[in-house]
DNA sequence: GTAGGGTTAG
């Protein structure tokens, strides 16, 4: 009876109701739990359906010692990607006295590879030696695979070299592993060796090679391998195509992408989810947004992978609003969005100035039960830094600690950046010091942090330590370093680093480096040299370069160069009101009474419509300054008349007539709410007021400021009788008694 | 009953 049932049992199709029927039948004839094999088979079937609780109950009933039920359950756990429980069960199997056999050990090794856990993998290796089964080809193949996944390439090589009978599976594992670790030459060499030793590659070997090349950042090799594979008559399946498309995306080659797209259509592969995701991604990375959307719409797939590729593609092609719209639509359609979907959308927001939205999405994500991972955190943290949302930044820090991802180099670097931008330079350094691995981004984040806080000496010390640690500086490192030197007035050091970056590191000076140098020379009063440097630039100077010159001209009141810089600047950034303000201030400082008319003419010629109030208020202040200087000036009545007209016009346009007036209102109304114009950017800048010693940041909400933000800051500083730190776009300014420590004009 | 290849987020 039992034998007959077992016969039937092994032929059962793997459906859950039939498994349950068989269970009932076995119970009826009293087989379960007294006969080992049928019970074990039943257990295996339950495990297959991931009914692990049922399987575990049966495991307790197995009467005679038999490792098979354990193996079956461990196998099922691994298939269900429950790797840690699988290893835990393996461990209890050993403690019950069952020796590891050649069937269960490869499965346990697969779990180690998937985690990955090198220490457990090594224990399993010793176990196979102790048990005397270390010659088993399955165990050795699994060991090779495990060591490769754990990045222990030398160990994998050792096991591989000692093997006598290498199957195609073993070769494939080793070849794929070499390719994945970027050992292009070795992988190809092995491929040859395998063939000469008489082992033919079936499809998987080729794919392993190709996937490995793609993952290790060798897109050209990936495409070449695909071509060779095709010419040798192997079928290009979905695995091959999706990996090659990913490589094409890295190469940004529309031509190859379109060819593969043609093949995909012919082979009917576009319905495959991996292929479609890779296709959408590759059009997105090549900047072909229209094609990307068309492919996505044509297939009409609701696969989450291609949805994610679409969100990312829209986001990276400056279509952040469309990306957000797509995300919301997918959610409304009931598509099961995963951690990649949420992370891409958070990244889309934090990279496109939608910082509040990024924070809100992160909250929603957790409410939706999607667990953020080591990629989500570095996508979220820039948003925290941008708006100095220290509390949210700290909670992301705590989250990383709980999740055990604090050692991730991206997480660490993003935390350094966030703390620095929130005014917490000491906390940034503490994170930096505890990081186990650092890359150039980590060093840059810390150096930029010091530069932002005006700590030039610390920035230079860290730069020297970076070089001692054999970390090669890049273009970004020098931008921070030069900016720090410029702020601190370390002219000679700055000049030396400007030469070093080009001569020692063969970095081509970018427009940002020039802007720092212009600022550096300008601050030292070497305005003509700064202007010469601009004229000698190999790249076209942008608004930052001319802006640096204009600001320096303000410090040293040089009208001649200021007008040259301003003319260029007004052409490049006609709507940036701050530039007009700077020039008008230089006129004022020089006591040029015709300054008002000059400014009005310039603005009229430039067709400035946006934010005229900013400049007008500044012009008005200038006139005030002039009047204060010489009350008996013959043009006084004329100026007063102009002033009156300006006031009326400003009121008509909805601008507040006087900044002083607004600031006086603050005390009675609401200190947290100052209104004097329109400028979102400055609102953010003033939203970042902090106290000097790093005590909690005080965020002034709803602050809307016009060109007089400087006056407002001075006012707040005086008004509250204390020092404040204000973060401009990329640096902190320290105010005391209405003066700024950096020496800039405010 | 055991071993090798898949895309999308920093």
At residue A732, the pLDDT reads 73
Strand B closer than 7 A to residue A340 Cβ: yes
Token duo for residue A655: 């601008």
User: B6 C1' – A228 CA distance, angstroms?
Assistant: 19
Confidence bin at A1 (pLDDT 50/70/90): very low
Nearest to A532 by CA among A510, A564, A485: A564
Q: What is the DSSP string of A492-505?
A: HHHHHHHHHHHHTS
Smallest CA–C1' distance to B2, residue: A103
Q: CB neighbours of A654 closer than 8 A, spacing ≥ 6?
A: none
Q: Tell me which residues from 516 to 535 on chain A have a beta carbon below 7 angstroms from nucleic acid strand B.
A: none
Strand B and A75 CB separated by under 7 Å: yes
* A709 CB below 7 A from strand B atoms: no
- What local confidence, expressed as pLDDT, does residue A592 receive? 77
A20 compared with A257, residue with greater pLDDT: A257
Residue-level pLDDT at A436: 94
Nearest nucleotide from residue A412 CA, by C1' atom: B10
The answer to whether A116 CB sits below 7 Å from nucleic acid chain B is no
Partners of A627 in beta bridges: none
- The arithmetic mean of pLDDT across residues A367-375, rounded, is 96
Nucleic strand B under 7 Å from the C-beta of A381: no
H or E segment and range at residue A732:
strand A732-736
Between A374 and A50, residue with greater pLDDT: A374
Residue A158 CA: distances (Å) to CA of A126, A155, A174, A197: 14, 5, 11, 19
**Secondary structure (3-state) at A735:** strand
Residue A3 has pLDDT above 60, yes or no: no
pLDDT recorded at residue A362: 97
Average pLDDT for A70-89:
86
Residue A50 pLDDT more than 90?
no
Least confident of A519-528, A578-587, A716-725: A716-725
- Please, where are the H alpha helices in A96-131? 104-114, 118-130
Mean pLDDT of A22-39: 73
Greater confidence (A65 vs A232) lies with A232
Nucleotide nearest to A316 (CA to C1'): B9
Share of chain A above pLDDT 70, in %: 77
Looking at every residue in chain A, the average pLDDT score rounds to 82
- What pLDDT does residue A149 have? 92
Q: DSSP readout, A464-525? A: HHHHHTTPPP-HHHHHHHHHHHHHHT-HHHHHHHHHHHHHTS-PPPPHHHHHHHHHHHHHTT
Residues A181, A153: contact at Cβ < 8 Å?
Answer: yes
Six-digit token pair at A451?
Answer: 């530069």
User: pLDDT of A451-496, one tens digit each?
Assistant: 988 899 999 999 999 999 999 999 999 999 999 999 889 999 999 9
A335 touches strand B (CB under 7 A): no
Q: Is the CB of A79 under 7 A from strand B?
A: no
A647 burial (CB, 10 Å; 0-12 / 13-18 / 19+) is: middle
**Residue predicted with more confidence, A178 or A652:** A178
**In this model, does residue A8 exceed pLDDT 50?**
no
Cβ pair A201, A191 in contact under 8 A: yes
Least confident of A495-509, A556-570, A601-615: A601-615
- A621 Cβ neighbours under 8 A, 6+ residues apart: A588, A659, A708, A711
Interatomic CA–C1' length for residue A416 and nucleotide B10, angstroms = 15
Task: Supply A40's token pair.
Answer: 């074990």
Confidence of residue A740 (pLDDT cuts 50, 70, 90): low
Question: Cβ contacts of residue A127 below 8 Å, gap of 6+?
Answer: A94, A100, A105
Question: Looking at strand B, which nucleotides approach a protein CB closer than 7 A?
Answer: 1-10
In whole angstroms, what is the distance from residue A178 CA to residue A209 CA? 8
Whose C1' is closest to the CA of A175: which nucleotide?
Answer: B4
C1' nearest to CA of A177: which nucleotide? B4
Confidence of residue A300 (pLDDT cuts 50, 70, 90): confident
A76 touches strand B (CB under 7 A): no
Answer whether residue A712 shows pLDDT above 70.
Answer: no
> Which structure tokens are listed for A100?
């590891």
pLDDT of residue A586: 84
Percent of chain A at pLDDT above 90?
54
Separation of A173 CA and B3 C1' (Å): 9
Rounded to an integer, the average pLDDT of A262-276 is 93
Q: Give the whole-angstrom CA distance, residue A355 versus residue A383.
A: 5
Q: Which of A343, A313, A310 shows the shortest CA–CA distance to A329?
A: A310
Give residue A705's pLDDT: 33
Residues paired with residue A346 on neighbouring β-strands, in sequence order: none
Confirm whether any atom of chain B, the nucleic acid strand, is less than 7 Å from CB of A88. no
Cβ of residue A308 lies below 7 Å from strand B: yes
The secondary element (H helix, E strand) that includes residue A726 is strand A724-727
A249 touches strand B (CB under 7 A): yes
pLDDT of residue A642: 67
Between A460 and A43, residue with greater pLDDT: A460
Give the pLDDT confidence of A419-446 residue by residue, as tens digits.
998 888 999 999 999 999 999 999 999 9
Tens digits of residue pLDDT in A624-679 = 555 555 556 666 666 667 667 766 766 666 554 333 323 333 333 333 333 333 23
> Tens digits of per-residue pLDDT, A518-541?
999 999 999 999 999 999 998 999
Nucleotide nearest to A168 (CA to C1'): B4
Chain centroid, CA A361 distance in Å: 16
Question: Mean pLDDT throughout A381-406?
Answer: 91
**CA A336 centroid distance within chain:** 23
Q: Of the ranges A153-167, A537-551, A697-711, A719-733, which one carries the lowest mean pLDDT score?
A: A697-711
């Amino acid at each position: 009876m039992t034998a007959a049932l077992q016969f039937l049992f092994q032929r059962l199709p793997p459906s859950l109701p039939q498994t349950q029927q068989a269970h009932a039948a076995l119970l009826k004839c009293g087989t379960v739990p007294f006969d080992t094999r049928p019970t074990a088979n039943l257990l295996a079937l339950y495990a297959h359906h991931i009914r692990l609780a049922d399987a575990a109950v049966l495991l307790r009933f197995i009467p005679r010692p038999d490792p098979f039920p354990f193996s079956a359950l461990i196998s099922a756990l691994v298939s269900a990607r429950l790797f840690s429980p699988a290893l835990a069960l393996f461990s209890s199997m050993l403690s019950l006295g069952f020796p590891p056999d050649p069937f269960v050990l490869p499965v346990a090794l697969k779990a180690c590879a998937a985690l990955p856990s090198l220490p457990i993998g090594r224990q399993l290796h010793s176990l196979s030696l102790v048990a005397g089964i270390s010659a088993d080809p399955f165990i050795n193949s699994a060991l090779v695979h495990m060591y490769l996944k754990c990045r222990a390439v030398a160990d994998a090589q050792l096991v591989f070299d000692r093997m006598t009978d290498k199957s195609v599976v073993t070769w494939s594992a080793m070849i794929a592993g070499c390719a994945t670790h970027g050992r292009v030459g070795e992988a190809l060499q092995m491929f040859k060796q395998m063939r000469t030793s008489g082992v033919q590659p079936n499809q998987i070997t080729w794919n392993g090679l190709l996937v490995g090349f793609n993952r290790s950042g060798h897109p050209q090799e990936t495409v070449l391998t695909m071509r060779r594979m095709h010419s040798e008559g192997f079928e290009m399946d979905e695995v091959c195509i999706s990996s090659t498309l990913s490589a094409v995306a890295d190469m940004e080659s529309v031509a190859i992408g379109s060819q593969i797209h043609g093949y995909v259509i012919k082979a009917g592969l576009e319905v495959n989810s991996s292929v479609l995701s890779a296709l959408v991604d590759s059009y997105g990375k090549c900047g072909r947004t229209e094609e990307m959307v068309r492919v996505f719409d044509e297939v009409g797939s609701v696969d989450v992978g291609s949805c994610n590729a679409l969100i990312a593609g829209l986001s990276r092609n400056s279509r952040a609003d469309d990306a957000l719209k797509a995300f919301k639509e997918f959610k409304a359609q009931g598509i099961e969005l995963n951690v990649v979907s949420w992370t891409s959308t958070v990244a889309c927001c934090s990279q496109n100035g939608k910082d509040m939205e990024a924070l809100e999405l992160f909250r929603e994500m957790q409410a939706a039960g999607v667990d953020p991972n080591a990629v989500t955190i570095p996508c979220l943290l820039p948003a925290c830094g941008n708006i100095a949302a220290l509390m949210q930044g700290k909670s992301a820090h705590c989250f990383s600690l709980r999740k055990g991802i604090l050692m991730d180099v991206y997480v660490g670097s993003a935390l350094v950046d966030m703390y620095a931008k929130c005014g917490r330079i000491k906390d940034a350094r503490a994170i930096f010091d505890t990081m186990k691995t650092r890359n150039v981004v980590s060093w840059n984040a810390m150096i930029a942090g010091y530069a932002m806080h005006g700590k030039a000496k610390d920035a230079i010390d860290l730069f020297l330590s970076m070089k001692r640690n054999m970390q090669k500086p890049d273009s970004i490192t020098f931008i921070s370093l030069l900016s720090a030197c410029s702020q601190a007035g370390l002219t000679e050091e700055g000049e030396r680093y400007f030469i070093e970056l080009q001569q020692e590191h063969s970095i081509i000076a970018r427009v940002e480096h020039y802007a720092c140098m212009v600022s550096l020379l300008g601050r030292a009063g070497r305005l003509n040299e700064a202007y010469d440097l601009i004229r000698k630039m190999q790249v076209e100077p942008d608004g930052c370069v001319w802006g640096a010159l204009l600001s320096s001209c303000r410090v040293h009141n040089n009208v001649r160069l200021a007008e040259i810089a301003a003319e260029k600047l007004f052409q490049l950034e006609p709507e940036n009101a701050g530039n007009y303000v700077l020039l008008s201030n230089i006129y004022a400082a020089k006591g040029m009474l015709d300054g008002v008319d000059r400014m009005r003419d310039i603005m009229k010629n430039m067709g400035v419509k946006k934010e005229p109030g900013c400049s007008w208020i500044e012009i008005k202040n200038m006139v005030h300054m002039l009047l204060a200087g010489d009350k008996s000036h013959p043009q006084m009545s004329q100026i007063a008349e102009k002033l009156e007209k300006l006031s009326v016009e400003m009121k008509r346009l909805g601008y507040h007539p006087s900044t002083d007036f607004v600031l006086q209102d603050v005390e009675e109304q609401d200190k947290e709410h100052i209104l004097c114009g329109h400028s979102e950017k400055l609102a953010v800048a003033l939203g970042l007021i902090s106290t000097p010693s790093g005590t909690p940041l005080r965020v002034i909400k709803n602050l809307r400021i016009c060109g007089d933000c400087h006056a407002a800051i001075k006012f707040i500083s005086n008004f509250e009788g204390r020092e404040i730190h204000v973060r401009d776009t990329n640096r902190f300014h320290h105010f005391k008694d209405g003066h700024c420590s950096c020496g800039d004009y405010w």
